[in-house]
Each structure stands twice: as structure tokens, then as C-alpha cells.
Amino acid sequence: MSSNDDQIAQAEGHFGVRFPEDYRHFLAREGSMARFVPPADDFLMINALTELIEGREMLTYDFRQDPPSLVLLDVSAQDWSSAIQQATSFSALLEQFPETGWKWDDSEPSPS
């Protein structure tokens, strides 16, 4: 098992979940990313495992669903009611982000 695999397993153990395969593959291969994505011209930052809970808004999996979707949730949110649907999977997020950027409220069309 590589050190990346160990970190993934530790994070999954910490949160009590198994991350979806596309996200696990990204973590093992790239680990993180931070860049502006054209043409949406929005900044996409996927934190490394060691930084998962830092930051104001968190892109997180909603494990209340199966399969879990990705939502944006402010760290000060008291519950999941303020979670904003972003994508149905990590792969879908990376595919649609260049066109859509972040969804900031529920009035925006739901991503497919």
C-alpha cells in the first residue's frame, strides 16, 4: 500500500465512509488541485486530504444519499439544509466545472 493509499484509508476511517472510486483515484493520482478553470473563469480548489476541513466553503460528499453527491457547504452551517448541490460525482464536477463554475444557491439549475 502506498503512502497515498494509507492517507486515503486514514481519512476514510476518520469520517467513517469509503470515498467514491473516482475521488479515490484522483487522490491517489493527483492529491489536490488549485487553478482557474476557463471558460467559467472560476477557481477550483480540491484540497489535499490533510486539509479537508480547512477553508470557508467545503466541497463535500453528501453520504445521506447513495451514491453520494457533491455539495457545497459553509463551515458555519448548522445542518445540511444549506448544502448546495454541485454534481452527482467527482468526475461530473470536473467535467462540468469549466462551463458552470460553482453553484452558489439552489435557484441555479441542478447539474447533471
Residue 110: inside a domain, yes or no? no
Spatial CA neighbour of 86 closest among 55, 110, 63, 52: 110
Domain extent for 8: 3-100
pLDDT in tens, 28-76: 999 999 999 999 999 999 988 888 756 677 899 999 989 999 999 988 8
Q: What is the CATH number of the domain that holds 48?
A: 3.40.1580.10
Residue 109, domain member (yes or no): no
* Domain-embedded: residue 89: yes
Say what the pTM is: 0.70
pLDDT digits (tens, 9 = 90+) for 8-25: 998 898 888 999 999 999
Taking Cα atoms as reference points, which of 76, 37, 41 lies closest to residue 55? 76
pLDDT of residue 4: 85
Angle between the N-to-C axes of helices 21-29 and 90-100, in degrees from 0 to 180, rounded to the nearest 10: 80
Of 54, 93, 53, 91, which Cα lies nearest the Cα of 71?
A: 93
How many structural domains are present in the chain?
1
